Amino acid sequence: MKLRKYDLEILVMCCFAIYLAYLARNGPWTPNHIAGAVLIAAGYVGWLIARLQIREFFTPRAEARGLVTTGIYSKIRNPIYFFGTVIFLGIVLYASVPWWGLLLVLLITLMQFWRARNEARVLEAKFGDAYRQYRAKTWF
């Protein structure tokens, strides 16, 4: 399998997950740590699955290289954005960040909605009715 430049993103996320696992060994587990760790792990698994399924069509900016409608994309139009936000929420809980951490998660969520809307415009312009039918059958 040929390594692509975007695969570095997956490697960085794996290293981050290993680092969080290391941090978990230091100190007691509180409900926040447990909830945060569960969200980080679930978010990471969902994010990784989405990244692997979109593989050759992934771009950092909205481009209509192809329309992926199978796998996790058959249920969620923007799983990378969704699960990325779940990871951020998990980090805020895990790290016991004060109230402003939730404000940061809200800001990230708004940014992800903006990105998804921009991506939808690009995909609809390229794929027309096929994208509109896909959008009608999926969430976010």
> pLDDT band for position 57 (50/70/90)?
confident
Query: How far is it, in rounded angstroms, from Cα 66 to Cα 126?
Result: 9
**Residue range 80-135, pLDDT digits in tens:** 999 999 999 998 888 878 888 889 889 999 999 999 999 999 999 999 999 999 99
The pTM of this model reads 0.79
Q: Which residue has the tokens 């199978």?
A: 70
- pLDDT mean across residues, the chain: 84
Q: Nearest to residue 63, comparing CAs of 119, 140, 112, 7?
A: 119
Q: Taking residues 5-19, what's their average pLDDT?
A: 68
Report which of residues 14 and 138 the model is more confident about.
Answer: 138
Could you state, in order of their start, the residue ranges of all structural domains in the chain? 7-137
Length of the chain: 140
Q: Nearest to residue 59, comparing CAs of 44, 80, 42?
A: 80
Q: Is the pLDDT of residue 24 over 80?
A: no
Beta bridge pairs of residue 76: 139
pLDDT at position 1? 46
